[in-house]
Structure 1
Amino acid sequence: MKLSVVMAVYNGERYVEEAIGSILAQTYTDFELIVIDDGSVDRTRDILRSISDPRLRRVLLPYNCGAAMSLNIGVWQSTGDWIAIHDADDRSMPDRFQVQAEYVRARPELIVAGAQISCFGDADVSPALLREREQALNQGESALRRDRYSVCPFCHGTAWISRAKFIQAGGYDPGYKIVYDYDLWLKLFRLGPIGKVDRVLYEYRIHASSLSNHNKRNAFTERLRCCVRRMCESDLVRGSGMPRVLVIGGEYQCRIMKTEVAPYCRIHVQAYHDSGLAGKVQSFVHAVKSGEVDAILQMNHPSRTMMTAYFQFQGLVQNKHFFNL
């Protein structure tokens, strides 16, 4: 089983050698490593040139193209049957590739295989935040498809992807600066089963800068746009014309949906509800059953677990009649 490991890096002088070292030290050896330098202006290229392992192929881009396009270029130049993604500041456990190779051999129906992670970071990243990120990315395989619109199924750098299915899905969308990986997973869910090794195989580095309020807002907005776009292409049942939806959630979430998401996606929002949600739950169900709306888009709010259970009790189907975002 030939594997192509693809890594994109931009100004990664601080960590890229460590990341590459964790790949070259793998117990599984039948792979090529394609590192795309995305127009770095620090010492990254010097570091790449200093590594003499014959499995390493360097692609030096003349200017910065963005992570999504850089990764696409790497996959286009790859020769393996499977693509393993690796971020330029993370580390893989020594037997990661061996374990994932055995996993996909044992389950030939899979088109993607992720893994569990452990998080680490600089001194200014609190242990509580590391545990929070681990918990978010380490959900079990049984929940991957059900929760695909509310939780990223796994950490980007853990993924093994069928190269043929990657190409069929259209690769990464360069229009996304942050959630290009999440968008790819949603496209791949439509093409075949996705699995996850129930074992920590990857160490994911958390940077304090990624936790800023500015980055959180941008990521939240991009994720909502991505999810609404993909659900409208596949899971959202509708009549003629644009899907008609109710949006429920907190005041901030509804504002982002109204100003930053709905105008960019082909949906018609009948109403936004950001207060007294539990008392309106029966009217939400009636709106779907009567055909007044095609679906409910439910963002995170204190009553969501209860309302999800009630929707299901009333016969509404998750990812058809209602979507948790």
Structure 2
Amino acid sequence: MEPLVSVCIPAYNNAGYIRETIDSILNQTYHNIELVVVDDNSKDNTLDVIRSVKDSRVKVYHNEENLGMVGNWNKCLSLTSGEYIKLICADDMLDQNAIEIEARAMQQHPTVNLVESDTRLVDINGKKTGVFHRYHKSGEVNGKKVAKKSLLIQNFFGAPVNNMIRKSALEKVGYFDESFTYILDFDMWVRLACSGDIYIIHQQLNSFRIRNDSNTGNLIGANRDVYVDEHKRLVEKHASNGVIKLSKFDIGFSVWFRKVRNVLIGIYLKLFSK
């Protein structure tokens, strides 16, 4: 039997993109999936689009009050039944064989808590504009090593769409930390990585949509200082718990390098997003 994979979509005002996201999940070559979609009291017709999908694997929930991103992401996780979990933002997409390849890696490597694949960056029309590569090694990699380099240099874990989570590990490390507004997933990847190994697949198995009006666009654009503040708190949090050894110099360098990367990403967004 194929292990059940729970795919979560936390949705809010995504009527223009969410059907394409849902279709990319339901058309997977891996069939034993459930799709948990939680609408966070959208103001557009996102809920109508979700309810128009007729497939027994789709479980639709609606929040009477808006929970915000962190609250809704955690609610999605709480509603899952699968052995493995993928959380996908409502405008991103999976390649047809993504879950099959990632679930197989998870099955074959019991010490692995995260399976990650490379990401295709696309614009609002789905046109490819770039690639986000994971950590340079392939296969099973020590999680703490990737976590430390991610905190120091760049987030090698990437977005939720390119990660598959072992649910038993998630239950041990806990859900998304509500003290973070934007980089809550980065924090979770670090916690999962520090509690086990990572399996890295250098294939582009998913697409991340770049939009100026998305959380990423707002964060790197108008809210750049907020991002830097959250990044500093993230590094300090994991330095203080003793699992990852980081000096004061390491923390200072990480914050400085984050500022530099924000500038570069801001330029990229101006060139390739709308």
Q: Give the TM-score normalised by structure 1.
A: 0.69
CA distance in 2, matches of 1:214, 1:49: 34
Unaligned runs of 5+ in 1: 239-244, 248-294, 302-325
The answer (yes or no) to whether the contact 2:8–2:77 under 8 Å persists in 1 is yes
Equivalent residue number for residue 233 of structure 1: 241
CA distance in 2, matches of 1:296, 1:217: 17
Partner AA of 2:232 in structure 1: L
Equivalent residue number for residue 213 of structure 1: 221
CA distance in 2, matches of 1:213, 1:72: 26
Counting only pairs closer than 5 Å after superposition, residues 43-122 of structure 1 correspond to structure 2 as 43-122=45-124
Count of residues in correspondence between the two structures: 243
**2:186 counterpart (182, 191, 200):** 182
Equivalent residue number for residue 140 of structure 1: 136
Unaligned runs of 5+ in 2: 258-274
| CA distance 1:216–1:176, change in 2 (3 Å) | same
Counting only pairs closer than 5 Å after superposition, residues 166-205 of structure 1 correspond to structure 2 as 166-205=170-209
The answer (yes or no) to whether the contact 2:116–2:134 under 8 Å persists in 1 is no
Q: Segments of 4+ in structure 1 off by > 4 A?
A: none
Q: Identify which range, 25-34 or 153-162, moves more after superposition.
A: 153-162
The answer (yes or no) to whether the contact 1:5–1:84 under 8 Å persists in 2 is yes
Q: Identify which range, 72-81 or 52-61, moves more after superposition.
A: 72-81
Which string of whole-angstrom CA distances, capped at 9 and with x for unpartnered residues, describes residues 185-223 of structure 1?
111122111222111100110012306532333222212
Counting only pairs closer than 5 Å after superposition, residues 26-41 of structure 1 correspond to structure 2 as 26-41=28-43
The answer (yes or no) to whether the contact 2:235–2:251 under 8 Å persists in 1 is no
Equivalent residue number for residue 151 of structure 1: 154
Q: Does 1:298 align with 2:253?
A: yes
Which string of whole-angstrom CA distances, capped at 9 and with x for unpartnered residues, describes residues 31-67 of structure 1?
1000011111110011111111000001111121122
The answer (yes or no) to whether the contact 2:194–2:243 under 8 Å persists in 1 is no
Q: Does 1:224 align with 2:229?
A: no
Higher normalized contact order (CA 8 Å, seq sep 6+, divided by chain length) = 2
| CA distance 1:86–1:236, change in 2 (3 Å) | closer
- Taking only aligned residues, the RMSD between alpha carbons, in angstroms, comes to 2.5
Identity, in percent, stands at: 21
Q: How far apart are 1:246 and its partner, in Å?
A: 4.1
**1:42 counterpart (20, 44, 47):** 44
